[in-house]
């Protein structure tokens, strides 16, 4: 009976789905699940749904909830992290301040000014979690879902002894998209994917032994299909591989798509028009957040049932607990040079073999040089952000923003400096102490 702890369980729907995933496995259905959040109201909402899952499905799991992090972590075997530090105010600053300077982010959670500062405000709490884990559950596996994935996991590898893997659903979601565009069964696709989180590449993709890429290239020629994923199709056309993050996300990580309104309008696709044109993700997030603060449950506890989603967490836990072998794409340290032409300190996303012995990242070999180059532009930003946070180095934070591909394509250095100072001042209460 493993103990599985959720930190940031106030992320109600996501936490409910992950609890359901765990309980969907017979071997995990008697798990001890500890839910923790600093927001009592949201924690109560998640707890109601988790308890309803247990009751409605007649399983033997136990559900505990607490606002005390160390209590939740005590004796844990697995820790799922999904925290959001600071709530609405810093998130809005990270979008609106760059927007004022002309940097038009879509999501702002992975790279760019938004991703950098989200990482900076999250790192102190991540380090506190790690210190607690080192004391009360030193052998637990930390599974991180919080963005910016690479910056946060890199910090954990650099500054803690906690075994950490990063989990993201972008690979299965991309496989689903490829299956749709090529009209092949998703469960029959075989693929080999590697890179960094949100900028990983389908290096191989086959169906019944056939290379899917010619089919994907044909699909791109259909205007209706092209409009579903404009940025990713453009990246494939120019760099030779399909990337693992959606077009509105991917548009933030490169300098090509978000620097003028004409290009933004041209790249606006049918499935993500609002997100491509402006940061409406922020407004939607605020609206959902206010609904939950007002007591609105997105789902009826009497109606919830156990269903298994595409998320990796339950499969990872099940493999370790039962010895069932699986291959999952996870975020891990590149210290064993799983991708030799990316820095050894970086966090990379690679295929990993998982069974009763734990997580074993695969050696991918060198990425095609153009793909490695695109990854390195992001890794450079991540390295400066991690250094700035861990060393309190204000200059490193400035350099991270100045190296960001989108920001540097939009602004001169002096304006980037002023924008970064404004972001530091606006969010100072959440950030590490900077010299």
Q: What is the pLDDT of residues 350-408, one digit of tens each?
A: 999 999 999 999 999 999 999 999 999 999 999 999 999 999 999 999 999 999 999 99
Residue 299 backbone dihedrals phi, psi, to 5 degrees: -135, 155
Q: In terms of pLDDT, which residue wins out, 12 or 400?
A: 400
Topology adopted by domain 3-166: Rossmann fold (3.40.50)
Residue 78 backbone dihedrals phi, psi, to 5 degrees: -140, 140
Residues carrying an active site annotation: 169
Q: pLDDT tens, 275-300?
A: 665 666 667 766 666 666 655 556 67
Do 192 and 204 touch, CB atoms closer than 8 A? yes
Record the tokens describing residue 156, joined without a space: 């954990």
Distance CA 183, CA 399 (A): 44
Q: pLDDT tens, 310-334?
A: 899 999 999 999 999 999 999 999 9
Distance CA 435, CA 432 (A): 10
Q: Which of 126, 117, 330 has the alpha carbon at shortest distance from 338? A: 330
Contacts of 163 (CB under 8 A, 6+ apart): 140, 141, 142
Q: pTM score, two decimals?
A: 0.94
Do 201 and 242 touch, CB atoms closer than 8 A? yes
Among 11-15, 221-225, 287-291, 359-363, name the one with the lowest average pLDDT. 287-291
Distance CA 265, CA 170 (A): 25
Residue 416 backbone dihedrals phi, psi, to 5 degrees: -60, -40
Residues pairing with 86 in the sheet: none
Peptide bond into 148 cis (omega under 30): yes
Buried/exposed code over 310-338 (b: 16+ C-beta within 10 A; e: otherwise): ebbbbbbbbbbbeeeeeebbbbbbbeeeb
């Amino acid at each position: 009976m493993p103990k599985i702890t959720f930190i940031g369980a106030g992320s109600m729907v996501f936490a409910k789905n992950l609890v359901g995933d765990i309980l969907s496995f017979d071997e995990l259905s008697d798990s001890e699940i500890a839910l923790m959040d600093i927001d009592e109201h949201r924690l109560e909402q998640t707890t109601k749904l988790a308890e309803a899952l247990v009751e409605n499905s007649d399983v033997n799991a136990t559900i505990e909830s607490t606002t005390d992090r160390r209590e939740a972590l005590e004796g844990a075997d697995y820790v799922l992290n999904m925290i959001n530090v600071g709530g609405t105010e810093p998130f809005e600053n990270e979008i609106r301040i760059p927007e004022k300077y002309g940097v038009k982010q879509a999501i702002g959670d992975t790279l760019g000014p938004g991703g950098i500062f989200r990482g900076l405000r999250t790192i102190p709490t991540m380090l506190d979690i790690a210190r607690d884990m080192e004391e009360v559950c030193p052998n637990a596996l930390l599974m991180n879902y919080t963005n910016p994935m690479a910056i946060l996991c890199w910090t954990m590898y650099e500054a803690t002894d906690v075994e950490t893997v990063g989990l993201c659903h972008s690979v299965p979601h991309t496989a689903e998209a490829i299956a749709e565009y090529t009209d092949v069964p998703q469960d029959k696709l075989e693929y080999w994917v590697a890179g960094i989180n949100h900028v990983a590449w389908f290096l191989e993709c086959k169906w019944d032994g056939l290379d899917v890429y010619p089919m994907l290239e044909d699909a791109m020629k259909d205007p209706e299909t092209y409009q579903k994923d404009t940025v990713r199709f453009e990246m494939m056309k120019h760099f030779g591989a399909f990337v693992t993050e959606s077009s509105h996300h991917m548009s933030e990580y490169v300098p090509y798509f978000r620097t003028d309104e004409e290009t933004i309008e041209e790249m606006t696709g049918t499935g993500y028009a609002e997100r491509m044109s402006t940061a409406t993700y922020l407004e939607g997030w605020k609206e959902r957040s206010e609904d939950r603060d007002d007591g609105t449950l997105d789902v009826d506890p009497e109606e919830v049932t156990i269903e298994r989603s595409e998320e990796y967490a339950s499969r990872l836990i099940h493999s370790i607990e039962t010895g069932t072998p699986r291959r999952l794409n996870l975020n891990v340290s590149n210290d064993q040079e799983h991708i030799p032409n990316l820095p050894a300190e970086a966090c990379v996303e690679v295929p990993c073999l998982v069974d009763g012995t734990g997580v074993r990242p695969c050696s991918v070999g060198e990425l095609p040089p153009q793909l490695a180059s695109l990854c390195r532009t992001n890794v450079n930003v991540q390295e400066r952000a991690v250094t700035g946070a861990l060393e309190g180095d204000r200059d490193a934070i400035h350099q991270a923003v100045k190296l960001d591909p989108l920001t540097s394509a939009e602004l001169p250095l002096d304006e980037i400096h002023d924008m970064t100072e404004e972001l530091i001042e606006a969010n100072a209460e959440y950030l590490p102490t900077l010299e």
